[in-house]
């Protein structure tokens, strides 16, 4: 079970800017008889959001359930105003879909009187707490592979200085990975899209950033032709220990569902291989 706990304070860290209403946006003055602006550590000022159940890789449905409490009392994670935030207010979108992805309509309601105590449009740098738990579950369920790397001359073949090396990832590896998580009738789908491969030849030269999967070598290219997009030429022998080639894949992460969307920090995966480079040229085949 994933749990996210936050204290109810007038301005949560996620709120960067408040517009459309004058003065300071206050979510919880008088919340349940407790002024959370002066007593933020009071147990009645604690929001807890939990998610129980599946997240899925490419082949599952990610079914699960989400629950929310404030001060230990069950509350709606989602209602007509939107998703419960870490400050106890609800955050939703406009019906026409005109608001940018990082802008939300904030509605704060006194649970004892059912009156709206605050309303406005705010900018969030992360999803509201309840939606965020579901989103994180989907992202955590992504099965992102390490690079399936290949080269010519092959990594297992002794290589020779001044002979161009071609690098690429195996066909079929460079593709989007998806995973989903569902609760309350909403499914969030997370996507990991390969963006680039950063290759380190291991010989102390600068890393080579390849924006695509690279081009597989063919015999028609010959042994003295450089790769058109991703490769390296060694100029110094490796010695007995060889060089460690490291390929780091960078994946762009995004999510969407139910009219919501957003991005998450990029994720990297890596693979290494050892190569021996000599001074003497020999016959090398792919």
Q: What are the tens digits of pLDDT across the range 123-143?
A: 988 888 888 888 988 999 999
Query: Cα separation of 77 and 91, whole Å?
Result: 11
Strands 231-233, 177-183: pairing kind: unpaired
Q: Identify the band that residue 34 occupies on the pLDDT scale cut at 50, 70 and 90.
A: low
Question: Two tokens at 139?
Answer: 């992202």
Residue 66 has pLDDT above 50, yes or no: yes
Residue 244 has pLDDT above 80, yes or no: yes
Positions of E strands within the chain: 2-7, 15-19, 46-53, 64-70, 73-75, 78-79, 82-84, 90-92, 103-109, 116-124, 149-152, 159-160, 164-169, 177-183, 186-200, 208-210, 231-233, 243-257, 260-275, 277-278
Instruction: Find the mean pLDDT for residues 218-235.
Output: 96
Residue, of 144 and 68, whose pLDDT is higher: 144
Query: Cα separation of 67 and 51, whole Å?
Result: 7
In DSSP terms, 31 is beta-bridged to: 34
Q: For position 25, what pLDDT does the model report?
A: 35
Q: Identify the band that residue 71 occupies on the pLDDT scale cut at 50, 70 and 90.
A: confident
Residues in CB range of 10: below 8 A, 6 or more apart: 24, 25, 26, 27, 28, 29, 36, 37, 87
User: Cβ distance 37 to 7 under 8 Å?
Assistant: no
Residue, of 52 and 153, whose pLDDT is higher: 153
**R_g of the chain computed on alpha carbons:** 26
Instruction: Find the mean pLDDT for residues 265-281.
Output: 93
Q: Is 125 exposed, middle or buried (0-12, 13-18, 19+ CB in 10 A)?
A: exposed
Nearest partner of 234 among 200, 270, 196, judged by Cα: 200
User: Cβ distance 145 to 179 under 8 Å?
Assistant: no
Instruction: Find the mean pLDDT for residues 227-244.
Output: 96
Strands 15-19, 116-124: pairing kind: antiparallel
Q: Average per-residue pLDDT in the chain?
A: 81
Q: For position 75, what pLDDT does the model report?
A: 85
pTM metric for this prediction: 0.72
Phi/psi of residue 258, nearest 5 degrees: 60, 30
CB neighbourhood size of 172 (10 A)? 8
Instruction: Find the mean pLDDT for residues 25-51.
Output: 57
The structure tokens 């010959």 sit at 222
Residue 37 has pLDDT above 70, yes or no: no
Q: Identify the band that residue 7 occupies on the pLDDT scale cut at 50, 70 and 90.
A: very low
Q: What is the DSSP letter of 225?
A: P
Residue 36 has pLDDT above 90, yes or no: no
Q: For position 63, what pLDDT does the model report?
A: 56
User: Cβ distance 233 to 164 under 8 Å?
Assistant: yes
User: Cβ distance 135 to 188 under 8 Å?
Assistant: yes
Strands 90-92, 82-84: pairing kind: antiparallel
Q: What are the tens digits of pLDDT across the range 177-201?
A: 999 998 877 889 999 999 999 999 9
């Amino acid at each position: 079970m994933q749990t996210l706990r936050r204290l109810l304070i007038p301005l949560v860290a996620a709120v960067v800017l408040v517009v459309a209403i004058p003065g300071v946006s206050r979510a919880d003055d008088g919340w349940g008889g407790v002024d959370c602006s002066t007593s933020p550590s009071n147990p009645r000022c604690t929001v807890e959001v939990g998610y129980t159940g599946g997240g899925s890789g490419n082949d599952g449905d990610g079914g699960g359930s989400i629950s929310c409490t404030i001060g230990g009392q069950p509350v709606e994670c989602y209602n007509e105003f939107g998703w419960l935030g870490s400050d106890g207010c609800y955050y939703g979108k406009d019906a026409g879909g005109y608001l940018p992805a990082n802008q939300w309509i904030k509605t704060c309601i006194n649970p004892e009187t059912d009156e709206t105590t605050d309303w406005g449009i705010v900018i969030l740098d992360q999803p509201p707490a309840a939606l965020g738990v579901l989103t994180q579950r989907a992202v955590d369920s992504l099965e992102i592979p390490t690079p399936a790397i290949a080269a010519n001359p092959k990594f297992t073949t002794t290589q020779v200085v001044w002979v161009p090396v071609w690098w690429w990832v195996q066909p079929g590896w460079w593709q989007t990975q998806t995973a989903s998580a569902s609760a309350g009738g909403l499914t969030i789908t997370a996507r990991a899209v390969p963006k680039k491969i950063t290759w380190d030849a291991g010989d102390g030269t600068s890393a080579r950033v390849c924006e695509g999967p690279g081009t597989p070598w063919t015999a028609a290219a010959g042994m003295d032709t450089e790769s058109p997009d991703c490769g390296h030429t060694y100029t110094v022998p490796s010695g007995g220990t060889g060089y460690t080639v490291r390929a780091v894949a960078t994946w762009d992460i995004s999510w969407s569902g139910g009219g919501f969307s957003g991005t998450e920090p990029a994720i990297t995966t890596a693979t290494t291989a050892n190569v021996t480079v000599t001074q003497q040229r020999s016959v090398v085949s792919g």
